[in-house]
Structure 1
């Protein structure tokens, strides 16, 4: 049995995925993301997402979290910082922050990663998920949809053709909505409402 690969990302109403777009994080949304991290024991990122996360959530050398972090953000960082990270990159020579680097055939490397023992793999980013979705490797999608129209930025899963089934939905006080989906098995009979 393989461990699940779960893709989760913040997205605007028009499908943009930029950390600069959307509502500012609040205690409720940060607590949600902290719980999402706890569902997995491995984080899988491309270079851009890895560097973004490392810059924001790696424990400083001083050992003290920055003053800008509130209690919910410290709790998130405390979960993320020690987690195993797997980074796919064709440009990096080395990684640290509890990370290992994979290059070359990313799809086969992720297949092997899924075969390892574990609670699950949490996938982030914009470009890497496209390749993994096209290969049928993503077991669950979680979209945290912000009530914002960005009008610019990278688009969610550009070029991917798949049918998803809603398995969970939750509204946050901010108006943000979490929607969790699983791919519909093409071989399974579909509910046609009849």
Structure 2
């Protein structure tokens, strides 16, 4: 069975927002490396629309820094599933799923392949409750923002999820990557 990995950037005070930090080349290289074992992304609509077409354009035009270009090339080469009831279309190598994301992810998890990377805060409580998330990759940025979307809303989990820290990486920027697996 494939491993399902959830990854996100997060502030010290628990907010998840793509604008909280400015990734260094070292951090971009880290994110690019995390995709080595991934052959499928499972996005919610909001995250998908934050990522695409932006990174597709960077990959095509080579318009970023060297690290951004490497990240964009790797990201856009991987197949994607996006969960959305409202999205009319998606870019190439992306399939839209309209309902029952947990059942869809379970089917995908049972197929042969590499890791599945989940990038969706809105789907996270449902996927945790279904027992589908095997590991968590959190990159904590050295910033307190005081507003925005939280990783999990109060009361969104029926029971706590015990995790085991398996790796910590410190970056020159002050960011810390934390890798947890389910106990």
* TM-score bin, normalised by smaller chain: over 0.9
Moved over 3 A (4+): none
Deviations 1:83-138 (A, max 9, x none): 10011111123322310011211111110011111111011121112211121100
Match of 2:33 in 1: 35
Query: Is 1:147 paired with 2:142?
Result: yes
Give the unaligned 5+ runs of structure 1.
185-194
Offset of 1:60 from its aligned partner? 6.4
How far apart, CA to CA, are the structure 1 residues paired with 2:165 and 2:61?
Answer: 40
What is the TM-score with the length of structure 1 in the denominator? 0.88
SS at match of 1:127: coil
- How many residue pairs match? The answer is 179
Which residue, 116, 123, 127 being the options, matches 1:128? 123
1:38-77 alignment runs, 5 A limit: 38-59=36-57, 63-66=60-63, 69-77=64-72
How far apart, CA to CA, are the structure 2 residues paired with 1:112 and 1:122?
Answer: 14
How far apart, CA to CA, are the structure 2 residues paired with 1:56 and 1:130?
Answer: 27
Deviations 1:37-59 (A, max 9, x none): 12200011011111111032013
What is the TM-score with the length of structure 2 in the denominator? 0.93
How far apart, CA to CA, are the structure 1 residues paired with 2:150 and 2:129?
Answer: 15
Match of 1:84 in 2: 79
